[in-house]
A = this chain, B = another copy of it.
């Protein structure tokens, strides 16, 4: 097998064809009725009995022969001899002759000889209870539910391929069926490789480059969403023998084996070798982005798909190529009406020549029109999809999409609901608590500057800005604002006796900053300029004298965590962060936090809900308890 062929990329259509040529079906299994909900019936079920199984009284009253009531009415009742009674759940011990009647309860078996019944309200018994007076006339069959009237023996009950609903379970129950033949869920083995991957819950050694294994549980959840049964195999590391053993075991036990994880050459070598020895490689490399490094083949009798290592790529390939094949094998219909139309919120360029699957988020503008924006944190990001609602497919001939261009978004699932509010900007603990009060908000902590830029571009509903604002923001409406205390987060008890900026400048202390995107960094910049002016020196000299001033971390807690880890003596941060993490704090001031809304969207429901939540948020929430 020539690894270089990897560069001859197959078309997405060829990849679909290759997967379709594999059999993923798991056969048939019998499940008890209580586990049948959502399963797919494998064969037609016909009624094997009549429902009800007997002629059944529909009301409380008297069973009789209809002929005996002909002509009877209120004024001129028919008098019938009472010859017995029949209760629900009991075998009638009476048979009716002409001129007789039997008392009967709702649901009871009609006695032999009776062909109709009269409800008790239209009757009287005579004084001694021997006779009953019937004050109405009835036709044969009146107030009787005949055997088989609901379902009759031999009737088609449920067709093959039916996805069993609670209502179908009602029908099956009525027929006494307590076990049904359904399609077995395709068993999908998930094999993850790579020395650097650690399963969630285990200890992570970042210093040696370990990261958590994202693909295993994510793909497993996707398999189950598609109607398959996921089998997670133990993590194989990069040990070639172990990997080979696990791949073979998975191929023996499953209908489909998915591998994902390491992109290391040695792991790929093992996969190639095992496929070469025990199977067949149908396709390697697909002209799609993300997702190029995809393998499709056979391992023994099992189908095999190698997913790309990067989580976003792995999930996009999974849902585009693998999930439909699992649904097909499971008999689960493709989800209905899972697309949304909208307009692209911003122009988007991309590399020509490859079919592109672009994860996107959705937000409604002020007029209720749906805007679609690409969600991408860049290569290697593992978590972008949690902030996306669906996918736009872009053909290989397109290299440019205009702002405002109409696009169709395939939602990740039919129950995806676009967020009610889309916010961007500074990460702020108070605002985060306010978000907790909203139904379904989305917030991207991109920092103050990028947040304001995006607000100006008209994509989000609101932006949260912190620190000194450089300019007025036309088109933005301030919804609310508060102050927050910022400064240096230091070790608990401040053992280094840090008092302020001068210590960072004059002493040999390791500092951790935030990125220039953040409002905290802007406030620090202003404080440094002031300090330089006080000392009568240049701000660059001050900055150069602080060890770590250039090391900017993206999120508001990261510097504090460097202090906890012992990698720094002080970090830029909030008093609230220091309090929460039980660290010391040296205040450098207060800075304003402003919540700014796109002026066109102040009437949007999500924005009004945010406004209400902001005004509801108690003073306690705005200024959290500092005694901690």
Contact = CB atoms under 8 A, between A and B. Distances in A.
A148 B554 contact: yes
Q: Which of A158, A168, A380, A443 has the most CB of B within 10 A?
A: A380
Given A209-B88, A222-B166, A379-B58, A217 B34 contact: yes
B90 A208 contact: yes
A117 to B, nearest CB: 13
Given A200-B177, A208-B91, A37 B225 contact: yes
B153 A558 contact: yes
Given A207-B91, A209-B89, A336-B417, A152 B380 contact: no
Interface in A167-220: 167-179, 194-196, 198-202, 204-220
Nearest to A416: B165
A315 interface: yes
Interface string A138-152: 000000011111111
A335 interface: yes
Q: Which of A36, A146, A173 has the most CB of B within 10 A?
A: A173
Given A151-B383, A170-B382, A88 B217 contact: no
A561 interface: yes
A515 to B, nearest CB: 9
A214 B44 contact: no
A78 interface: no
Contact of A170 (B90, B166, B315): B315
Contacts of A108: 209
B109 A174 contact: no
A386 B149 CA distance: 15
Contacts of A264: 88, 105
A37 B224 contact: yes
A436 B160 contact: yes
A311 interface: yes
A145 B225 CA distance: 32
Given A90-B208, A155-B445, A195-B89, A170 B385 contact: yes
A37 B221 contact: yes
Interface of A (DSSP majority class): loop
A275 interface: no
Interface string A551-578: 0011111101100000000000000010
A210 B89 contact: yes
A56 B219 CA distance: 24
Contacts of A416: 165
A330 to B, nearest CB: 14
Nearest to A143: B379
Contacts of A335: 415
A176 B159 contact: no
Interface in A435-462: 435-436, 438-441, 443, 445
B161 A439 contact: yes
B441 A170 contact: no
Interface in A51-73: 51-54, 56, 58
Given A217-B33, A264-B88, A427 B150 contact: no
Contact of A152 (B34, B215, B557): B557
A107 interface: yes
A232 interface: yes
Contacts of A194: 88-89
Interface in A263-283: 263-264
A173 B443 contact: no
A106 interface: yes
A379 B385 CA distance: 51
A212 B445 contact: no
A601 B216 CA distance: 49
A171 B158 CA distance: 41
A170 B108 CA distance: 58
Contacts of A225: 37, 166
Given A34-B217, A107-B263, A154-B555, 6 more contacts: A50-B553, A149-B377, A152-B445, A155-B427, A165-B412, A170-B217
8 contacts: A37-B224, A150-B377, A151-B383, A154-B558, A156-B435, A157-B386, A177-B201, A333-B417
Interface of A: 33-34, 36-37, 44, 46-47, 49-54, 56, 58, 88-91, 105-109, 145-161, 163, 165-179, 194-196, 198-202, 204-222, 224-225, 232, 238, 263-264, 311, 315, 333, 335-337, 377-383, 385-386, 388, 412-417, 427, 432, 435-436, 438-441, 443, 445, 553-558, 560-561, 577
5 nearest A-B pairs in the assembled complex, by CB-CB distance: A154-B557, A152-B555, A178-B201, A53-B206, A166-B221
